[in-house]
Structure 1
Amino acid sequence: MTSKPRRGLTEQAADAAIDTACRMLRLPTVRAQFPDLAEAAAREQMSYRGFLAELLMAECDDRARRRSERRIKAAGFPREKSLRAFDFTANPTVDPAVINTLATCDWVKKSLPLCLIGDSGTGKSHLLIALGTEAAMAGYRVRYTLATKLVNELVEAADDKQLTKTINRYGRVDLLCVDELGYMELDRRGAELLFQVLTEREEKASVAIASNESFSGWTKTFTDPRLCAAIVDRLTFGGNIVETGTDSYRLAQTRATQQA
């Protein structure tokens, strides 16, 4: 590349013009990386087209990263969890191939449900958050909530005559992650409101749940047998069921640490 300035601009004036233009056009990555990329382009005798492509791809990559970060933040995950950090050797019940297939998010694209069933400490919440994060990174709108928090929000919305608005808000996300379903008994009203949310999303958007109870034990949470059966049907029809087992690897890790 030639260092000859265009239109009589000095190098300093050209840099200032680029900085101003990047601010006006909202190209923060081009603005930040231009000096280093320009030097690299000069050293490698890169073509004008190649240099421009490098700049624009850097901006596109950084914008994609920032969008992913915003979607992950908007999901409201309580902590960071990744599939890379999940210890499949500590929990052989979970099939890595199944999880890797779920990580492609094809089930979210097809608006299918996902159920993660297992005892405490078996990694179901980890997988729920990690798969939700994968969906957010893939461009889907994701929302995480605890089952009891969701039901309480729905009850309050119903009392304030804001139920339709609240259900519609949850209906707009591509994937709703509901954690800790089955830890507490829900009264009939709360169960019916949760059923409304699930019905609104059926075959239109995905729901992923994590529960410490097998489906046969959901009558402890949903005391009305018919309503319980309807909710199980909504959460399993055409979807994926991953059982994380009964042996707590979290407890096993704690014991191993204490004995070390």
Structure 2
Amino acid sequence: MNAKTIPASTPAVTALGDQAAEAAIATACRTLFMPTIRDQASPMAEAAARERLSHKAYLAEVLAAECDDRDARRRIRRIKEAKFPRTKHLSDFDTAAIEDLPPARLATLATGAWIDAGEPLVLLGDSGTGKTHLLIGLGTAAAEQGRRVRYVTTAALVNELTEAADAKQLSRVVGRYARLDLLCLDELGYVSLDSRGAELLFQIITEREERASIATASNASFSEWGQTFTDPRLAAAVVDRLTFNAHIINTGTSSYRLRTTRARSEEATLQEGDQP
């Protein structure tokens, strides 16, 4: 007889008491790594009985709860793995402070479509203009969407690569950075790199070229990057790779932090003046 014509047998069902069922659920959930169902199966079963849900509806509810919690745990894990130095969200950023970043453009960037396309992003501007806030905010949004993200300063990355090269572990470290969905590279241009450090950093950039996104923040214009990469040809190659099909945002010269401090100071002065 053809296997397709064999009628499906009815699954055997074991009659269990409540305590035995709870023990079986707990054991199965530990085996299957389903902590939410383990914790919520009983109270959700009571709720299902009150609402007279079918067995299928109850099963759908507990599975949905496990999936939701798993997504939440993954978002938390991705953010932790990114190693952001502080918490920053795009919702806290004042887009009115940057002419080059209207809300609609920021909303588009927040979707992460540019990351999926492997496109670079470059933030250029003076200190205090919001570059790091945007870098962390966009990285956080990407991590919350389930992407693998890592934040690192240029100096820290070069030091890590140099130590890896000395320990003959460079290929392993380069491979780890290559597997990221988004590399947030901060403070490019703040310090000059020696020829070895510049070449090691170039390996990371080349490994991700047109395949995986790099978001870079720099206080130096492209013409000044030669001061960071002392070899003019290497500097030109870095600029070429980080700007090809890139989203470039100029954050300007007006310090966001200084404006915020002044606004708070003026508000405090007004409040003091209103006191009798």
TM-score (norm 2): 0.85
Runs of 5+ consecutive residues of structure 2 not aligned to the other structure: 1-12, 269-276
The structure 2 residue matched to 1:214, chosen from 193, 209, 221, is 221
RMSD of aligned residue pairs (Cα, Å): 1.9
SS of alignment partner, residue 89 of structure 1: helix
Q: What residue in structure 2 maps to residue 173 of structure 1?
A: 180
Contact 1:178 1:207 (C-alpha < 8 Å) held by counterparts: yes
Partner Cα distance (2:119, 2:69) in 1: 31
Q: How far apart are residue 122 of structure 1 and its match?
A: 1.5
Q: Which amino acid is the alignment partner of residue 178 of structure 1?
A: L
Selected match of 1:118 from 112, 125, 128? 125
Instruction: Map Cα deviations across residues 200-228 of structure 1 (whole Å, 9 max, x no partner).
Output: 11112111111111212222222322211
Q: Structure 1 stretches of 5 or more lacking a match?
A: 1-5
Once structures 1 and 2 are overlaid, which stretch shifts more, 32-41 or 234-243?
32-41
Tell me by how many angstroms 1:232 deviates. Answer: 0.5
Decide whether the 8 Å contact of 1:182 with 1:218 is kept in 2.
Answer: yes
Are 2:35 and 1:32 aligned? no
1:59 equivalent in alignment to 2:74 = no
**For the Cα contact (< 8 Å) 1:142–1:175, is it kept in 2?**
yes
Q: Any idea what SS the aligned residue of 1:79 has?
A: coil
Query: C-alpha separation between the residues in 2 aligned to 1:16 and 1:162?
Result: 47
Percent of aligned positions that are identical: 61
Provide Cα deviations, 1:172-208, integer angstroms capped at 9, x if missing partner.
2121111111111112222122112111111121111
| Aligned residue among 73, 78, 92 for 1:85 | 92
Residue 20 (structure 1) shift = 3.2
Q: Distance in 2 between matches of 1:93 and 1:248?
A: 15
Q: Which residue of 1 aligns with 2:21?
A: 14
1:39-76 Cα offsets, whole Å, 9 max, x none, are 32222222221111010011011111112221221111
Query: What is the correspondence of 1:138-177 to structure 2 with a 5 Å cutoff?
Result: 138-177=145-184
How far is 1:233 from its partner?
Answer: 0.4
2: distance between equivalents of 1:25 and 1:190?
A: 46
Q: Which has the larger radius of gyration?
A: 2
Distance 1:154 1:213 in 2: 23
In structure 2, the CA distance between the partners of 1:25 and 1:144, relative to structure 1 (3 Å rule), is same
Contact kept, 8 Å, 1:108 with 1:205, in 2: the verdict is: yes
The DSSP-based 3-state class of the residue aligned with 1:84 is helix
Which residue number in structure 2 is paired with residue 196 of structure 1? 203
Distance in 2, matches of 1:160 and 1:230, equals 27
Matched with 1:3 is none
| SS of structure 2 residue aligned to 1:116 | strand
Match of 1:253 in 2: 260
1:93 is displaced (CA, Å) by: 4.3
* Structure 2 letter corresponding to 1:68: R
Contact 1:91 1:249 in 2 (8 A): no
Query: Which segment drifts farther, 101-110 or 213-222?
Result: 213-222
Q: Does structure 2 retain, via aligned residues, the 8 Å contact 1:117–1:245?
A: yes
1:103-144 CA-to-partner distances (Å, cap 9, x unmatched) read 111111111111111111211111111111222222222111
Give the counterpart of 2:55 among 41, 48, 59: 48
Which shifted more, 177-186 or 20-29?
A: 20-29
Q: Which whole-Å CA distance do the structure 1 matches of 2:113 and 2:139 have between them? A: 13
Q: Is the 2:96–2:102 Cα contact (8 Å) retained in structure 1?
A: no
Partner SS state of residue 258, structure 1: helix
Matched AA of 1:199: T
TM-score calculated relative to the size of structure 1: 0.90
